[in-house]
Structure 1
C-alpha cells in the first residue's frame, strides 16, 4: 500500500482529504484514510453498550453491521501511540491511504497553509514535506499546489506517495 499525509494547522485538512478521496476514487482507485486525533477525543458515545464494554475492561471492542465494522482497542496508559506502519498493517490493502495529520511520520507530506498565512511552518524543517497548498501565495522551500486544484493535488499525491509501510522518525 502507498501512503501520503496532509499536515498543518488548517481545519480544512479533513475537507481536502475528502475531496482527494472523491477525486481518486473517481479515477477508479481504492482509497482508505487514517485521521490522527487527540487522545482527549473519545470515539464512542458515553453510556453506549460498547462504551460500557470498554469501561468494564475489554481490550478490544468491535461494532459490526451488514454495511461496516469498526474495531476499537484500548491501549494501556503507559503505551506509546502505535506507529504508522502498525496502523497500516491492520488495514485491508488499497491503492493509497491518505493520512489526515501524522506530521511526525516519515511519510511524504503536503502542508496545508491557512490563507491568512504567507509562510509555510513545517516545510522549512521537514524534508518529507514535498509541497504546500493554500488559497493564496506561500513562501516555502517546496512547490505550491493551489488548494482548489483537486486534480493537480491528486496527481502530486499519487506521484509522491510512499510505497510500503513508512516507519516513525
Structure 2
C-alpha cells in the first residue's frame, strides 16, 4: 500500500483537497482510503444509540456492522494517542492511503500552503515534504510547487510520485 500525506496549517484546505482528489484518483482506477487526524475530542457515535451505551458502560472496543458498512470504535481510556503508523495497521490494504494531518510524522507528504493565511511553510523544517500545493507562486522552493486549484495535476503528481502509473494505466 502506497502512502501520501496531506499536511498544512488549520484552514489551509486539506479536507477540500482530499475530497477532490479521491474521485480524481478513483477515476484512474485506484482504490483509495483515507485517515484523518483530529486535533480535538471527537465522537462518531451519538448518545442514545446502543453502541454509545456500550462505550459509556466501559467497553474498550465496540464494532457496529450492517449490510452497508462497519465501524470499529476504540476508547483509549487513558492510553497515549496512537501515531499514524499504529492506526494504519487497522486499515485494509488499498492502492493508496491518503493521510490528512499528522504533519509532524515521518511519512511523505504534500504540504497545503496558502500565503494569505500568514502561516510559515512547513517544508523547510520537514524533509518528508515532497511537494507544496499552493494557490500562488513560491520562488526558490526546493520541491515541486503544485497548483492547488489544478486537482488533476495534483492527482497526476501523486500517481507518479507513488509509483502507481501501471496500476492507474491498467484501467
Normalised-by-shorter TM-score class:
0.7 to 0.9
Query: Residue 107 of structure 1 contacts residue 162 of structure 1 at CA under 8 Å; is this kept in 2?
Result: no
Q: Give the aligned partner of residue 155 of structure 1.
A: 156
Distance apart, 1:63 and its partner CA = 1.6
For the aligned residues, what is the CA RMSD?
2.1
Distance apart, 1:87 and its partner CA = 1.7
Distance apart, 1:10 and its partner CA = 4.5
Q: Deviations over 1:128-147 (max 9, x none)?
A: 01111121223543221000
Q: Give the aligned partner of residue 58 of structure 1.
A: 59
Query: Which structure dedicates a bigger proportion of its chain to helix?
Result: 2
Correspondences of 1:33-72 after superposition (within 5 Å): 33-72=34-73
Query: Residue 111 of structure 2 contacts residue 122 of structure 2 at CA under 8 Å; is this kept in 1?
Result: yes
Distance apart, 1:98 and its partner CA = 0.5
Distance 1:25 1:122, change over 3 A: same
Distance 1:28 1:156, change over 3 A: same
Correspondences of 1:1-169 after superposition (within 5 Å): 1-11=1-11, 12-77=13-78, 79-117=79-117, 120-139=120-139, 140-161=141-162
* SS of equivalent residue, structure 1 residue 63: strand
Distance apart, 1:88 and its partner CA = 1.7
The number of residues matched between the two structures is 162
Give the unaligned 5+ runs of structure 1. Answer: 164-169
Distance apart, 1:162 and its partner CA = 8.9
Query: Residue 9 of structure 2 contacts residue 119 of structure 2 at CA under 8 Å; is this kept in 1?
Result: no
Give the unaligned 5+ runs of structure 2. Answer: 165-171
